Structures are given as C-alpha cells and as structure tokens.
Amino acid sequence: MTPSPDKPKFSGKEALALHRRHAWQPFTQMKLTPDPYVIGRAEGVYLYTTEGKSIIDAVGSWWVNVFGHNHPRINNALEAQLHKLEHVMYAGFTHEEALELGGRLSAASGHALPRVFFSDNGSTAVEIGLKMAFQYFVNQGRTEKKEFLTLENGYHGDTIGTMSVGARSVFHEMYLPLLFDVRQARAPFSPASNRGDRKRESESLEEALADLKSVLERYGERICGFILEPLIQGAGGMNIYPALYLKEARRLCDEYEVFLIADEVFVGCGRTGTFFAFEQAEVWPDIMALSKGLAAGYLPFAATTATEKIFQGFYSDDRKHTLFHGHSMTANPLGCAVANAALDLFESENFLEKTRVLEREHEKRLMKLREGKLGARISETRFLGTVGVVELDLKQDYTGDFGWKFWRGCLERGVLLRPIGPVIYLTPPYGISGEELDTVYGVLEETALAVLD
Ligand SMILES: *Cc1c(COP(=O)(O)O)cnc(C)c1O
C-alpha cells in the first residue's frame, strides 16, 4: 500500500537526518545550502510540504511542468499504461504508444521531421542530435565535416558532449580539459543595457548574422552542425531573440551544407506560445531535441527528431552506417503514453491558446512592476509566451549573494522562483490563474526589495 500523503513517512527530524547523511543534489554545494523543503504532494501549481506548507511552483519545477501537477488526464493515461506494459526493450520490438507518438510528433512538424529517436533526458536528446549530424557526413565519406558551431552563451546540458557545445560558463569551466573544441558565433541579442532600444537591437541582430556568415565562410567546410536554442537562451539568462535570426540561420546553413540542430528541450511543447519555437521562423531545422515538457514534466523522457534526408544517410546495406546509440529505457511505454496524453491536452483543452493568454498576463504585470517601487532596480523586463523575465541591475551597489537569498526569501513567502544571477524569471504551468500570477509577482517584488534593502 502507498503511504497516505497526509501521514508523512518520516518526521521532519528523521527526513533531515537522512538527507544530510545520504543526499547529493544537482548544482548544489551541499555544505553551504540550507535544509530542503520535503514535498509530500502537489496539485495544479501548488507544491505541499509534508508539514503542510504550500508553495506556488512558478518555475514549473525546473521548466518541465506544463499542465500543472497531478493532472487527472495525465494521471489516467499513466495508470492505464502501467497496467498494460511498463517497459520492453526497443530493439526488435516496438509498442503501440511509441507507434502513435512517432506519428504525432512527425505530424506536429507538418512531417518536416518525420524520424523520431527516443531517449530519456534533454542532454541525451542533444547528444544524439550531434551524433546524427556528425555521422551523416562520415557515412558519406566526408570526414572533414566534424566540427560543431554553437551560439555564444548557449546551454545544452551537462554531459561531456553537451557541455562541449555549451558556453564555457562557471558551471562548466571546471571540466574544460575534457571538452572538445567548437566554433562559436555571436548571440543575436544585445546586452540588457541596450535592450528596448530598437536601433541597437536591430544592429545586434545584423552583427550576429554577419558574424554567423563569416564563421561559416571561413570554417563551413569543416562544420557538420550548428546547434542553438531557438528564440530563448534559457540557462544563459533567459535571453529572447527574434525569429528572423532562425530564418537567416536556416538559409546560411543550407548554403554551407551545415545541419541546423534546434535544442527545443526548454522552448518546445508550447513554452514560447507555439508548439515548437521554430514555427515562429516559418522554417524547420534538420534535427530537433525535445524533453522537459514532452512528457508533461512527469517522467524522464526525450526525443530527437530528424529529417528524412538525415535518416536516409544512415539507411544502408552497410552495417557501419548504423546510428550507434541507444539507452536501456529508450521509448519507455509509460513515457510515450504520457507524451501522447500531453498531445491530447494540447489538442482538446487548447493549451496553446493558454500560453498566449499567459503572455499578455506577463506583459501587464511586468509593466506594473517597472512602474512600482522595484522599478529603479530593474534593468529590463521581457517576455515570450509563458516566460516572463525581470532582469535586475545589481552591479551598482549590491555585492551580496542576491540569487540565493531571493530564492529562499520567496520560498518562505510560499513561491518557488530560482533566479539565474540577476535574472528572475517565471516559467509556470500554462494554466496558472491570474490570481496565482498576482501572488507570484507580488512576492517577487516584495522579496527583491527586502533582499536589496
Ligand atoms: C534543460 C536543458 C537541457 C538539458 O536537459 P536535461 O534533461 O536537464 O539533461 C538541454 N538543453 C536545454 C536548452 C535545456 O534547457
């Protein structure tokens, strides 16, 4: 029997003792971090600690939760699948949920990306895309095309390969000796201080495109793939840039025979107001990585989709042309069933419309925030789809550890917000109500003022 959520398995003291003795958490200096909250259950946008405290999940639990927690239709789909088939190896076998999901993901791109390779997390989905781009050319005997081009400031995951194509940030500089070299192009947005200034913004876009062109001119013959996060660079600071960049990047990649790899792990599945962020550019990439919201934030699940052309580069009588990649839990039926249920929700409950409503709700509240007491400390606000961003100007007179004081301060006030340096962002479940958003923005303002005081 499962324990009743109202009767915690451990007392507060026991839970902390176990945590302190055994836990090792991601991106966490275990010696310096305060004790965690123990979450016992969740519902909609709310997390509940085992001691009964409620917390609004304004970041969708690290950007994965798109429909809210404990969603009845997702729960039902998961449970139904559980009683049918929990897992089977995905070589020599397939199953109904993988068959259905492959067809539906292909249809979501108008069949521009009809080939679907399943895996189980975002970093892996990206690495698979890198291997596809690289090996496509190797299979053709074009071994000179073995380099990758990336965008400055990008983030693609924490494995060795994805760190290599990501920015050499403080997160990853430790591992520098393990990483392979990549080419880098300038990011298509201006520094926060210039944003809102249309002239400077369009200059930045033009400069980024000129830089991309010149890198491709010089090194295009050696480059197999250009990887980027479409429309929003997430972990790099929630930087939003125009779809025009993607459109031009598509054209340049075609010109230099470079595969365009879209890392839609964060921006996919409705996050930016369209199902895929790339739709806003009205062109398609050659390869796309999806995870996070793909299985509604319920299960570790991912997919890498590709064009038929790329697939045909591996489809051969020569066994050496096989894509040598796989994971034990590839195409897990529970993950596939949840992803199919998530697609049902997009279709039947019009979640895409909700993402566009949310965009307007962010816009209103961000404007109010700029006009309020915190306004003087804000260097920029920005938004796209379900993502709202407040960038603070901390350089002048603040030296303390803002991010983590703010994070804890908000939690004490019942809201989960976890800034990236001076960048406070909201990535809530798409169905968050106006009232809940008011609470989140209110706590954001109050806590930022308290910490900055
Ligand atoms: C989160 C993220 C990843 C990594 O996904 P994991 O599932 O955490 O490995 C890759 N790319 C982008 C753009 C992300 O936001």
Question: Is 44 in contact with 8 (CB distance < 8 Å)?
Answer: no
C-alpha Rg value of the chain to the nearest Å: 22
Q: Which residues pair with 380 in a beta bridge?
A: 391
From its phi and psi, is residue 281 left (phi > 0), alpha (psi between -120 and 50) or beta?
Answer: alpha
234 lines ligand 1 (CB under 6 A): yes
Taking the C-alpha atoms of residue 39 and residue 108, their distance in angstroms, rounded to an integer, is 35
**Atom of ligand 1 minimally distant from the CA of 233:** 13
Q: What is the dihedral of CA 115, 119, 124, 128, to 10 degrees?
A: -30
121 lines ligand 1 (CB under 6 A): yes
Domains of the chain: 12-70+351-452 (3.90.1150.10), 75-348 (3.40.640.10)
The alpha carbon of 32 and the centre of ligand 1 are apart by a number of angstroms equal to: 25
Per-residue pLDDT of the chain (453 residues; tens, 9 = 90+): 454 556 889 999 999 999 999 999 999 999 999 999 999 999 999 999 999 999 999 999 999 999 999 999 999 999 999 999 999 999 999 999 999 999 999 999 999 999 999 999 999 999 999 999 999 999 999 999 999 999 999 999 999 999 999 998 877 889 999 999 999 999 998 766 556 677 788 888 999 999 999 999 999 999 999 999 999 999 999 999 999 999 999 999 999 999 999 999 999 999 999 999 999 999 999 999 999 999 999 999 999 999 999 999 999 999 999 999 999 999 999 999 999 999 999 999 889 999 999 999 999 999 999 999 999 999 999 999 999 999 999 875 555 689 989 999 999 999 999 999 999 999 999 999 999 999 999 999 999 999 998
Instruction: Give the type of residue at 79.
Output: E
Strands 147-151, 115-119: pairing kind: unpaired
Taking every pair of Cα atoms in the chain, the longest distance, rounded to a whole number of angstroms, is 69
- Nearest residue by C-alpha to atom 7 in ligand 1: 122
pLDDT of residue 12: 93
Q: What is the dihedral of CA 159, 160, 166, 171, to 10 degrees?
A: 70
Q: Is 86 exposed, middle or buried (0-12, 13-18, 19+ CB in 10 A)?
A: exposed
Q: Which residues pair with 305 in a beta bridge?
A: 116, 288
Q: What is the DSSP secondary-structure string of 233-246?
A: ETTTT-EE--HHHH
What lies within 8 Å, CB to CB, of 308 at 6+ separation is: 114, 115
What lies within 8 Å, CB to CB, of 370 at 6+ separation is: 378, 381
pLDDT of residue 1: 45
Q: Is 87 exposed, middle or buried (0-12, 13-18, 19+ CB in 10 A)?
A: middle
445 lines ligand 1 (CB under 6 A): no
Taking the C-alpha atoms of residue 2 and residue 4, their distance in angstroms, rounded to an integer, is 6
Handedness of CA 161, 121, 173, 388 (dihedral sign): positive
Taking the C-alpha atoms of residue 104 and residue 339, their distance in angstroms, rounded to an integer, is 10
134 lines ligand 1 (CB under 6 A): no
301 lines ligand 1 (CB under 6 A): no
Q: Which helix (H) or strand (E) holds 263?
A: strand 259-263
**Atom of ligand 1 minimally distant from the CA of 292:** 7
Instruction: Give the type of residue at 160.
Output: I
**Atom of ligand 1 minimally distant from the CA of 266:** 15
155 lines ligand 1 (CB under 6 A): yes
Query: 3-class DSSP state for residue 43?
Result: strand
Q: Which residue has the tokens 């200059």?
A: 203
157 lines ligand 1 (CB under 6 A): yes
Query: 3-class DSSP state for residue 177?
Result: helix
Edge to edge, the sheet with strand 387-392 lists 378-384, 387-392, 423-426
Question: Is 387 in contact with 417 (CB distance < 8 Å)?
Answer: no
Q: Which two tokens stand for residue 133?
A: 């781009």
pLDDT of residue 200: 80
Question: 439 to each of 58, 66, 416, how far by Cα in Å?
Answer: 10, 19, 11
pLDDT of residue 399: 59
pLDDT of residue 5: 54
Angle at 350 between CA 346 and CA 355, to 5 degrees: 90
- Write the secondary structure of 52-85 as one string of H (helix), E (strand) and C (coil): CCEEEECCHHHHCCCCCECCHHHHHHHHHHHCCC
Q: Which residues pair with 183 in a beta bridge?
A: 149
Q: Which two tokens stand for residue 209?
A: 């495109």
Pairs from 310-316 (Cβ < 8 Å, separation ≥ 24): 310/115, 310/132, 310/133, 310/136, 310/259, 310/286, 311/114, 311/115, 313/135, 313/136, 313/139, 313/140, 314/132, 314/135, 314/136, 314/139, 316/139
248 lines ligand 1 (CB under 6 A): no
**Atom of ligand 1 minimally distant from the CA of 235:** 15
Q: Which residues pair with 41 in a beta bridge?
A: 48
